Amino acid sequence: MSVKSFTQELSDLGIRKSELARELGLSPEQISRWREEPPAYVIAFLKQVKKNREIQAKLDYFMSLSHNDEPKEWPEERKIYSITELLQENETALAVFTRGAYLEIRENNTGFSGNWVIDPDKEVDRLIIYKRNETIEPFVNDIYIADYIWPEGPISKDKRYRIHFKNIEHVGTTPYKWKEFSGGGANPIKYIGFSENKEKSNDINLNGDEQFIHDLPTELLEIGKKLLYEIRQFNKHGILKFHEKSKKYVESPDNFWTVRIQKKDKSLRITVKGAPESFKALPKDILKHIKPDMGTYSAFKMSTREEDLDIDSAIQVIKFAGI
């Protein structure tokens, strides 16, 4: 086990070294002497704890059902692809990344999360918690949202704070890693809805992908989220950039597709690199939707209507253009 692994494993499981000592019938001093190199039986024990928790979660679910219920599969949860999906217009929020070590959720839906290096003077409406889950494959990360109450602290010399919240709700999961979900870097916190220019305080500081999701009307939200998610699976390093003049979201750095939201028509107008004849390897029922556009580009419309291209076919065309 690497130097970081033992400490990180305990943190992921929310187990303190004193608790581990009690479970194993050892003294805290013995645990401390291991430093970051615990015996093999301890590593095996922690792996078994992970496995048991996953099994218990599924058992609890099935035991909660009535005898007449016969679920055929694990219940599908709401998939969340961006922080901004969770906020109402003009709401501010603090989003945090955690593995659960300092997260406490009580039965009355209050609790706290810490320890965070934050600005205690910022007035925040909502707290969004991204909880990394590394015990289930494929990895799914739990997303919670709560009302931000107050920051307790500082509770350490490096000025960390414990954030208290109420009305917490588990709103779904995300397949995205923290950087993709937050649109930020490695920093485990991110403020949303704040601006240095107070006159523009309603403007949310978003990257292009987030802005696209944020601007989608209700009728296009689900297909728009799925479209972007599928594209990011094969083009992980791309990012959309919004062009005010054309109202297009353009893929960067490799411009092989663009998208424009057509709210009145309730559709997405998509352009892809390549003339229509360059897509002749695709099925005919897809080809009939692809029309010539400016230069060497082609265009098509995507919506939930039968006369437009459907989401799965649109993704197929865009992937073909990006090869």
pLDDT tens, 210-267? 889 888 888 898 899 999 998 988 888 889 999 888 889 999 988 999 999 998 888 9
Q: What is the pLDDT of residue 283?
A: 92
pLDDT at residue 194 is higher than 70: yes
* Spatial separation of the C-alpha atoms in residues 85 and 79, rounded to whole Å: 10
pLDDT at residue 75 is higher than 60: no
Sheet holding 189-192, edge to edge: 103-105, 111-116, 161-174, 141-152, 126-131, 93-98, 189-192
pLDDT at residue 116 is higher than 50: yes
Confidence of residue 96 (pLDDT cuts 50, 70, 90): very high
- The 3-state DSSP class for residue 24 equals helix
Q: What is the pLDDT of residue 71?
A: 46
- Summarised one tens digit per residue, pLDDT across range 127-169 is 999 998 866 555 678 999 999 999 988 888 888 899 999 999 9
- The 3-state DSSP class for residue 144 equals strand
* Spatial separation of the C-alpha atoms in residues 190 and 233, rounded to whole Å: 24
* Spatial separation of the C-alpha atoms in residues 286 and 230, rounded to whole Å: 18
Q: What is the pLDDT of residue 4?
A: 45
Confidence of residue 3 (pLDDT cuts 50, 70, 90): very low
pLDDT at residue 205 is higher than 80: no
* Spatial separation of the C-alpha atoms in residues 228 and 266, rounded to whole Å: 17
pLDDT at residue 98 is higher than 90: yes
Burial class of residue 23, CB neighbours in 10 A (0-12, 13-18, 19+): exposed
For residue 146, what are the contacts with CB-CB under 8 A and spacing of at least 6? 109, 111, 126, 127, 129, 165, 166, 167, 168, 169
Question: What is the rounded (10 degree) CA torsion for 160, 162, 163, 166?
Answer: 180
* Spatial separation of the C-alpha atoms in residues 87 and 94, rounded to whole Å: 11
Q: What is the pLDDT of residue 315?
A: 93
Angle (nearest 5°) at CA 153 between 148 and 156: 130
- Position 22, amino acid: R
94/157: higher pLDDT:
94
Other C-beta atoms lying within 10 Å of the C-beta of residue 183: 21
Q: What is the pLDDT of residue 313?
A: 93
Contact by Cβ (8 Å): 209, 137: no
Q: What is the pLDDT of residue 169?
A: 93
- Tokens representing residue 273 in the block: 């690199």
Q: What is the pLDDT of residue 59?
A: 65
What b/e string do you get for 97-136 counting C-beta neighbours within 10 Å, with b at 16 or more?
bbbbbbbebeeeebbbbbbbebeeeeebebbbbbbeeeee
For residue 133, what are the contacts with CB-CB under 8 A and spacing of at least 6? 139, 140, 141, 142, 173
Question: How much is the pTM?
Answer: 0.46
Domain with CATH 3.90.1150 in the chain: 208-322
- Tokens representing residue 108 in the block: 């009355």
On whether the 208-322 domain is CATH 3.30.450, my answer is no
- The 3-state DSSP class for residue 269 equals strand
Average pLDDT in the chain:
82
Rg value, the chain, Cα? 24
Confidence of residue 184 (pLDDT cuts 50, 70, 90): confident
For 96, half-sphere exposure in the C-beta direction (CA atoms, 13 angstrom radius) is 27
Give the residue carrying structure tokens 């003339």.
275
- Tokens representing residue 169 in the block: 């709700």
Contact by Cβ (8 Å): 132, 166: no
- Summarised one tens digit per residue, pLDDT across range 18-35 is 778 877 888 878 888 888
* Spatial separation of the C-alpha atoms in residues 135 and 137, rounded to whole Å: 7
* Spatial separation of the C-alpha atoms in residues 303 and 282, rounded to whole Å: 19
- CA dihedral for 250, 224, 128, 9, sign (positive or negative): negative
